[in-house]
Structures are given as structure tokens and as C-alpha cells.
Amino acid sequence: MFDFDALINCFGMASCAVNQLTSGLIIGMLLFLVASGLTLIFGVLNVINFAHGTFYMVGAYFAFSTYLFTESYLLSAFVGALGAGIFGIFFERVLISKVYGQDILMQLLVCYAFILITDDLVKLIWGTDYIAMGIPDEFRLAPFRIFGGYVPPLYAFLIILSLVIGILTILLISKTRFGSIVRAAAENSPMVSALGIRVPLYFALLFGLGCALAGIAGALAAPVRSLTPGMGFGILIESFIVTVIGGMGSIPGALIAAIILGLTRSIGSVGFPLFVDGLMFLIMAIVLIFKPTGLFVKGSSK
């Protein structure tokens, strides 16, 4: 099951090391975008958004339709994020806000119903076929060669862009007035209301921001991942693993955990191809046993 020779050989060769490290980063960074939205919503609203993968799917489909008309990748990604964000606000206002503070089972049921309805809507609008958006012409370039390894320009761009979006999100939450208000409202929402601030509006905006992060991940990945109804489910499971490892509510934690998972996948495909998923869950189990709050959250487990 374990092929340590292959692993040692790989890291003995610069080209193999470059290939596997960059592929780990690209898997990790897209996962980070999705997971950061999930962890943000949990951290502030204390809601586990089981429907988060749906916004990843919605973002990808919105981007696809925009790309059909405009052939602009960046505009498509923006529309994907915006569409997922607005859809997220709608979901928060109409459905999930009704079950804030209620039993987790009730939240799960509302989210599951929403997933099924949205999947069917996607089927009605875009059909059941798998759709490929295709790689934008500006990125149809020969891969960069770094120490003999291959790095596709699109992936290099995605890694940098994801990192920038992640940093901007952290700054938005920690340094801006918007961030201060939502963090204060998370601690004591009646007090913030008493100051004349419309807390539900801020909660809705924050929920929309979380969904927009999932949406932009779906939109950015759309050129290389075939689009199908229900495509959000696979990424949801991995996002949960990231959130558990990194710590519920911690965006830097999500970043590190997503990179750990990305590297586990890429290094695993060389050294232990049959145990990649197993190892991901094993890491999660170890974190849960020794630090149940996750790597980057202080305090006791919830």
C-alpha cells in the first residue's frame, strides 16, 4: 500500500517535487476558498451551513453562463461570486435565519431540502448534461517549467488569486467597521442592536460573503472541472474536514488545513495512492482526539 521508494525518489528529483508541491497548493487553495466561507459563517453566526457546497455549484453555473456571453473569465468569476452571494443572502433571509439557535437537526433538514431544491433548479435551467466551460484562451499557454516541473499558468494565477482573496477576507473581518460590527454582534447581538445597528442585515451580508467565497471557488474552477447538478457535494465533505482540522471559525486555520489536505492528496498520489482519502480522515481523527477545537482555535471544544 505504501511506496516509500517512489516517495523518496520523487522528492529526490526537483521536477517531481515541484509538480507535487504545486498541485498540492492548487487543490488546497480552491478548497480553502470554499472552506473559508464555511468557517466564517460558523464563526460568526454559529450555524453549520450544510448547503455550502450548493453555492460552489451555483457560482460555477453562473460563471459558465456569463462566459458564454462575454468570453471573459474574470468577469465570469465575478458574476459567479456575486450570484452565489445574492443567492446566499436570499437563503439566509428566507430560510436559515428562521432556524438560528434551534436544534442542529432542524438546520440540517432545512439545508438538505435547500440542496435538493437547488440541484433540481439547476437541472431545469442548465440540464443534466455535464458541461465543460473550457479553458479561457488567455490561459491556453504552455506550462511554466520550474526545475523541470510543470506549472500551468492558469493554476499559478489561481493560487495567487485565492491567496489574495483569503487575505482580503481576513482584513475585512479584522480591520474594517463591517468586520467589527459582525464580530460584536456575534458576541452580543442585543447590545449591538441597542446601538441602532440593524444586526439581521449584517448577518445576511456576512452569510452572503461566505457563500460568495464558495461561489468564486466554483467559478474559478469551472474551466477545468466539469459542471453537473450535485457537484457541490464532494467539495462539501472536504471543506468540513478542513474546517475541523483548522478549527471552526478560524480563517487562517482553514488556509493551513486546506494546504495540508492538498499536499496530502498530491504527495499521497505518489507514495500511498490507495490511502489518500484514508489519511485525510486519519488526520482529522487525530486532530479531533488531541485538539478537538482544531489547530488554530483556542479554548475548549464545543
Partner 1 sequence: MKNFKNKIKRRSFMKVASLGMATTALTGFPNILKAANKPIKVGVTTILSGRVAILGQTVLSGMKVAVDEINNAGGIDGRKIEVISRDSKAKPDEAARLTRELVNNEGCEVLLNCEASGATFAVNEVARDIKKFCIHCISETSSLTADPKNRVPWVFRAARQGIHDAVGGGIFASEIAKKNNLKKFATAAPDYAYGRANTAEFMEYLKLFSPDINVTTQTWPKIFQPDYTENITALLNAKPDALYTCLWGGDLVAFIDQASLYGLFDQFQSFAVNLGDLPILTAIKKIPKDVYGGARYHKDIPDTQANEDWYNKYMAGSDVLPTNWSWEADTGMRFLIDALKKTGGDTDPMKLAKATAGNKIKSPFGVDGTMTIRGEDHTLVNYVIAYGRTITKDPYLANIQQSNWKDIYVHEKDWKKRKKYI
Q: Which residues would be at the binding site for partner 1 (CB under 8 A)?
A: 10, 13, 15-16, 19-20, 22-24, 26-27, 30, 119, 123, 128-135, 139-140, 142-143, 150, 152, 154-155, 221, 223-226, 228-231, 234-235, 265-266, 268-270, 273-274, 276-277
In this complex, which beta carbon is closest to partner 1, that of residue 26 or of residue 251?
26
- Minimal distance in Å, beta carbon 195 to partner 1? 44
- Minimal distance in Å, beta carbon 130 to partner 1? 3
In this complex, which beta carbon is closest to partner 1, that of residue 6 or of residue 197?
6
In this complex, which beta carbon is closest to partner 1, that of residue 277 or of residue 291?
277
- Minimal distance in Å, beta carbon 149 to partner 1? 8
- Minimal distance in Å, beta carbon 234 to partner 1? 6
In this complex, which beta carbon is closest to partner 1, that of residue 206 or of residue 260?
260
- Minimal distance in Å, beta carbon 139 to partner 1? 8
Closest residue by Cα to residue 64 from 56, 116, 142: 56
- Minimal distance in Å, beta carbon 86 to partner 1? 24
- φ/ψ of residue 107, rounded to 5: -60, -40
d(CA 264, CA 252) in angstroms, rounded, equals: 18
Cβ distance 253 to 294 under 8 Å? yes
d(CA 128, CA 131) in angstroms, rounded, equals: 9
d(CA 18, CA 66) in angstroms, rounded, equals: 34
In this complex, which beta carbon is closest to partner 1, that of residue 138 or of residue 187?
138
Helix (H, G, I), strand (E, B) or coil at 46: coil
d(CA 31, CA 218) in angstroms, rounded, equals: 10
Work out whether strand 149-151 and strand 144-146 pair parallel, antiparallel, or are unpaired. antiparallel
- Minimal distance in Å, beta carbon 150 to partner 1? 5
∠ CA 259-301-261, rounded to 5°: 15
Exposed e or buried b per residue across 224-263, where buried means at least 16 C-beta atoms within 10 angstroms of its C-beta? bbebbbbbbeebbebbbbbbbbbbbbbbbbbbbbbbbbbb
- Minimal distance in Å, beta carbon 33 to partner 1? 13
In this complex, which beta carbon is closest to partner 1, that of residue 230 or of residue 252?
230
d(CA 140, CA 133) in angstroms, rounded, equals: 13
In this complex, which beta carbon is closest to partner 1, that of residue 3 or of residue 252?
3
DSSP 146: E
In this complex, which beta carbon is closest to partner 1, that of residue 125 or of residue 171?
125
d(CA 292, CA 290) in angstroms, rounded, equals: 6
